[in-house]
Amino acid sequence: MSTSGAKKRPKDKPKDKASKKPWHIKRADLDLDDYQLQQEQKSITLLLSRAFHGLIRSRQFYAYLVLQALAAWFKLGQVFFCVGILWMMYANTGRRKDGEMSSWSVFNKGFEAIEGSTDMEAVEREIRSRGLI
């Protein structure tokens, strides 16, 4: 019998479980302290704690509380609450770097859309190419 037509069998793998690992990792090489710190930073209690302490240190929050109390005194508490929510949304919007485009084309110079966004012309071309119109 010729061996050229026979299938080659893979090399027999050792049965040792430790050798099944794709690479050998030493515990000393792992940076477990950084990993544990990252996991703790993701915990909801830590995030809530940071948010609470950030709110307590905020001068804007104390100014809002004083103005809200004054507005409630003059029976305008609900109106000022709505104004306060709008102010918080405005105050917490991010700032773009020079040359950075917004994902909303309305806010870009010349209403220029970012690459990969869908515009009505592209949708219309796609519908027409399928013969639906």
pLDDT digits (tens, 9 = 90+) for 26-56: 666 666 777 777 777 777 887 888 889 888 8
pLDDT digits (tens, 9 = 90+) for 109-119: 888 888 777 77
* Higher per-residue pLDDT: 122 or 85: 85
Q: What is the pTM of this model?
A: 0.43
The amino acid present at 127, given as its one-letter code, is I
Ranges of each domain in the chain: 102-133
pLDDT (average), residues 90-94: 81
Strand, coil or helix: 24: coil
Q: Please check whether residue 102 is in contact with residue 113, taking contact to mean a CB–CB distance below 8 angstroms.
A: no
The amino acid present at 9, given as its one-letter code, is R
**Sign of the CA dihedral with 14 first, then 17, 22, and 23 last:** negative
- Comparing 16-20, 51-55, 67-71, the range with the smallest average pLDDT is 16-20
Q: Please check whether residue 111 is in contact with residue 105, taking contact to mean a CB–CB distance below 8 angstroms.
A: yes
